A and B are shown apart, each in its own frame.
Chain A
Amino acid sequence: MSLYDKASLVMIPSGYKASSATLYSVVPNTSVGDFDVTVDADATRVNKDGLIESVAANQARLDYPLTNGVVGDCPHLLLEPSRTNFLTYSTLDFNGGATPTGWTVGFGTGTFSHTETTYKGQGAVKHTQSTTGRSYLSETISLSASTTYTLRVEFDRNNSSGIDDTDYIVATANMDNSFAKQWSDVDDDGILEVQFTTGTDATGELRLGFGVSGNEDGGKTIVFSMPQIEAGSYSTSYIPTSGFAVTRTADTCNGAGDSSTFNDSEGVLFAEIAALADDGTSRRITITDDSGANYNNIVSLELDESTNTLKGFVINNSGNITSVSTTNLNQDENNKIALKYNSASTNLYVNGSEVDSATSTNLPTGLVKLDFDSGRSDEIQGFYGKCKQIMVFNEALSDSELQQLTS
Chain B
Amino acid sequence: MELFKKYEFDSQEQAESKIAALPHDTDDEGNEWLIGKHTIVKLGHIVTQEGIYEDTEDGDIVEVTPPVYADKYSVDVLWRGLDSSPYGWASYEITVEGNGVHTFLGRNF
B28 / chain A contacts, CB cutoff of 8 Å: 295
Question: Considering the chains assembled together, what is the distance between the CA atoms of A375 and B27 in angstroms?
Answer: 12
> Assuming A140-B50, A174-B53, A305-B31, is B103 touching A246 (CB within 8 A)?
yes
Judged by a CB distance under 8 angstroms, whether A4 is at the interface is no
Judged by a CB distance under 8 angstroms, whether B55 is at the interface is yes
B78 with A244: CB separation less than 8 A: no
Judged by a CB distance under 8 angstroms, whether A131 is at the interface is no
B31 with A247: CB separation less than 8 A: no
Judged by a CB distance under 8 angstroms, whether B100 is at the interface is yes
Chain B positions 22 through 53: 1 when the CB is less than 8 Å from some CB of chain A, otherwise 0: 00010111010101010101111011001101
B55 with A84: CB separation less than 8 A: no
A106 / chain B contacts, CB cutoff of 8 Å: 55, 61
B41 with A142: CB separation less than 8 A: no
> Assuming A142-B46, A142-B47, A293-B25, is B102 touching A381 (CB within 8 A)?
no
Shortest distance from the beta carbon of B30 to any chain A beta carbon, whole Å: 11
Judged by a CB distance under 8 angstroms, whether A245 is at the interface is yes
A374 with B104: CB separation less than 8 A: no
Judged by a CB distance under 8 angstroms, whether A217 is at the interface is no
A215 / chain B contacts, CB cutoff of 8 Å: 59
B55 with A249: CB separation less than 8 A: no
**A134 to chain B: closest residue by CB:** B59
Interface 9-residue window, one of A25-33, A35-43, A65-73, A354-362: A35-43
Judged by a CB distance under 8 angstroms, whether A378 is at the interface is yes
Question: Considering the chains assembled together, what is the distance between the CA atoms of A317 and B79 in angstroms?
Answer: 33
A174 with B51: CB separation less than 8 A: yes
Q: Chain A contact residues: over half helix, strand or loop, or mixed?
A: loop
Tell which of B25, B50, B102, B105 touches A380, judged by Cβ atoms closer than 8 Å.
B25
Q: What number of B residues sit within 8 Å (CB to CB) of A? A: 36
Tell which of A40, A174, A248 touches B61, judged by Cβ atoms closer than 8 Å.
A174
B47 with A250: CB separation less than 8 A: no
- Chain A residues 177-198 with CB under 8 Å of chain B are none
**A379 to chain B: closest residue by CB:** B37
Shortest distance from the beta carbon of B99 to any chain A beta carbon, whole Å: 5
Question: Considering the chains assembled together, what is the distance between the CA atoms of A247 and B101 in angstroms?
Answer: 11
Judged by a CB distance under 8 angstroms, whether A162 is at the interface is no
Shortest distance from the beta carbon of B34 to any chain A beta carbon, whole Å: 9
Question: Considering the chains assembled together, what is the distance between the CA atoms of A345 and B27 in angstroms?
Answer: 25
B29 / chain A contacts, CB cutoff of 8 Å: 282, 305
> Assuming A250-B37, A282-B29, A378-B35, is B51 touching A41 (CB within 8 A)?
no
**B44 to chain A: closest residue by CB:** A144
Shortest distance from the beta carbon of A235 to any chain B beta carbon, whole Å: 16
Shortest distance from the beta carbon of B88 to any chain A beta carbon, whole Å: 21
Chain B positions 78 through 96: 1 when the CB is less than 8 Å from some CB of chain A, otherwise 0: 1000000000000000000
Chain A positions 65 through 89: 1 when the CB is less than 8 Å from some CB of chain B, otherwise 0: 0000000000000000010100010
B103 / chain A contacts, CB cutoff of 8 Å: 244-247
Shortest distance from the beta carbon of B80 to any chain A beta carbon, whole Å: 9
Shortest distance from the beta carbon of B59 to any chain A beta carbon, whole Å: 6
Question: Considering the chains assembled together, what is the distance between the CA atoms of A246 and B29 in angstroms?
Answer: 32
A57 / chain B contacts, CB cutoff of 8 Å: 106
A247 with B106: CB separation less than 8 A: no
**B99 to chain A: closest residue by CB:** A244
B13 / chain A contacts, CB cutoff of 8 Å: none
Judged by a CB distance under 8 angstroms, whether A239 is at the interface is yes
A43 / chain B contacts, CB cutoff of 8 Å: 105-106
Judged by a CB distance under 8 angstroms, whether B8 is at the interface is no
**A38 to chain B: closest residue by CB:** B37
> Assuming A250-B37, A293-B25, A380-B33, is B102 touching A84 (CB within 8 A)?
yes
Question: Considering the chains assembled together, what is the distance between the CA atoms of A247 and B107 in angstroms?
Answer: 10
A380 with B35: CB separation less than 8 A: yes
A305 / chain B contacts, CB cutoff of 8 Å: 29, 31
Judged by a CB distance under 8 angstroms, whether A219 is at the interface is no
> Assuming A41-B106, A84-B41, A247-B76, is B25 touching A203 (CB within 8 A)?
no
- Chain A residues 9-57 with CB under 8 Å of chain B are 40-43, 57
B43 / chain A contacts, CB cutoff of 8 Å: 245
Shortest distance from the beta carbon of A60 to any chain B beta carbon, whole Å: 15
B51 / chain A contacts, CB cutoff of 8 Å: 174, 203
B104 with A249: CB separation less than 8 A: yes
Judged by a CB distance under 8 angstroms, whether A348 is at the interface is no
Judged by a CB distance under 8 angstroms, whether A173 is at the interface is yes
Question: Considering the chains assembled together, what is the distance between the CA atoms of A107 and B54 in angstroms?
Answer: 9
**B53 to chain A: closest residue by CB:** A174
9 A-B residue pairings within 8 Å (CB atoms): A42-B105, A134-B59, A140-B47, A174-B61, A245-B103, A246-B102, A376-B25, A378-B35, A381-B27
- Kindly list the 8 A-B residue pairs having the minimum CB-CB distance in the complex, ordered from nearest: A41-B106, A380-B33, A40-B105, A378-B35, A245-B102, A248-B105, A249-B39, A42-B106
